Amino acid sequence: EDQVTQSPEALRLQEGESSSLNCSYTVSGLRGLFWYRQDPGKGPEFLFTLYSAGEEKEKERLKATLTKKESFLHITAPKPEDSATYLCAVQKGAGNNRKLIWGLGTSLAVNP
Amino acid sequence: NAGVTQTPKFRVLKTGQSMTLLCAQDMNHEYMYWYRQDPGMGLRLIHYSVGEGTTAKGEVPDGYNVSRLKKQNFLLGLESAAPSQTSVYFCASSTWGELFFGSGTQLSVL
C-alpha cells in the first residue's frame, strides 16, 4: 500500500538549534516528492520538488534531500518565523493519472 | 497577483442545508482540486478536474458534487450537509508540477 510517513509529529527547537524533519515513503513509481509549509489558518505553500535520489535543493535556512526511501528537510539555525507545519507529498503517475499521497505533517515550533 | 481565491472563508450550516464553495484561479492552470483537511487525517482529495468541463472523484467524494464550467473556476457543492462534513476545505490548482493552494474555507455543520 502506498504510504507517506512524516516524523516527528511535533518538534520544538530553540532559535539557532538545527535539526531535520523526515518523510519516509513506500510508493511504487515515484515521479516526484514535494515539500510544503503550512501556517495556521492558511493553505499549504510550496517549498521544493525533488525528482530523483541524490537530489538536493536549498532555500534560505532550508535544505531538502532525497533517497530511494525517504526525504529530509534540514533546518539550519532556525528562527521563530520558521514555525509552521511542514507537509510532504509523493507523486505517482503523471499527467491526468497523477496521484499525490500526503503525509500528516510535522509541526515545528521555534522558540526565541 | 491573486493566485487561488476561495469564498467564503467561514461558514456555519445546519444539518441538511446546502451550500456551494467557489474557487477561482488566475494562473491559467488546467488542473484543479478540492481537498479537505482534518486533524489526524491530513489532506484528503475530494474531487478534481483535469480541464474545463471535466471532473473526477478523489478519495472521499461521497456527499459532494463539483462543476468546472469555466477553466478558472471550480465549484464544490454540498447538497445536504452533515456534521461529518465539518472541516477545512482547500482548493488548489496546478499545471504538471506543484500545487498552488487557496487560503481555505472553514465549514462547521451543526
Beta-carbon-side half-sphere exposure of residue A107 (alpha carbons within 13 Å): 6
Best residue in A9, A96, A97, A101 to probe B by mutation, most B CBs within 10 Å? A96
Per-position pLDDT tens, chain B of length 110: 679 999 999 999 999 999 999 999 999 999 999 999 999 999 999 999 999 999 999 999 999 999 999 999 999 999 999 999 999 999 999 998 999 999 999 999 99
Give strand pairing partners of B44. Answer: B36
Task: For cell 532559535, name the residue.
Answer: A15
CA nearest B98: which of A91, A70, A55, A52? A91
Residue B2: predicted pLDDT: 79
Core vs surface per residue B58-69: b (16+ CB within 10 A) or e: bebbeebebebe
Q: Which of B45, B50, B102 sits opposite A43 (nearest CB)?
A: B102
Distances (CA, A) of A21 to A2, A50, B79, B104: 20, 15, 40, 25
With CB atoms and an 8 Å threshold, state whether B98 touches A46. Answer: yes
Residues A57-61, mean pLDDT to the nearest whole number:
97
Q: Which chain A residues are Cβ-neighbours of B101 within 8 angstroms?
A: 43-45
Sequence-distant (≥ 6) Cβ neighbours of residue A12 within 8 angstroms: A108, A109, A110, A111
- Residue A74 is given by DSSP the state E
With CB atoms and an 8 Å threshold, state whether A95 touches B102. Answer: no
Task: Decide if A109 touches B, using CB distance below 8 A.
Answer: no
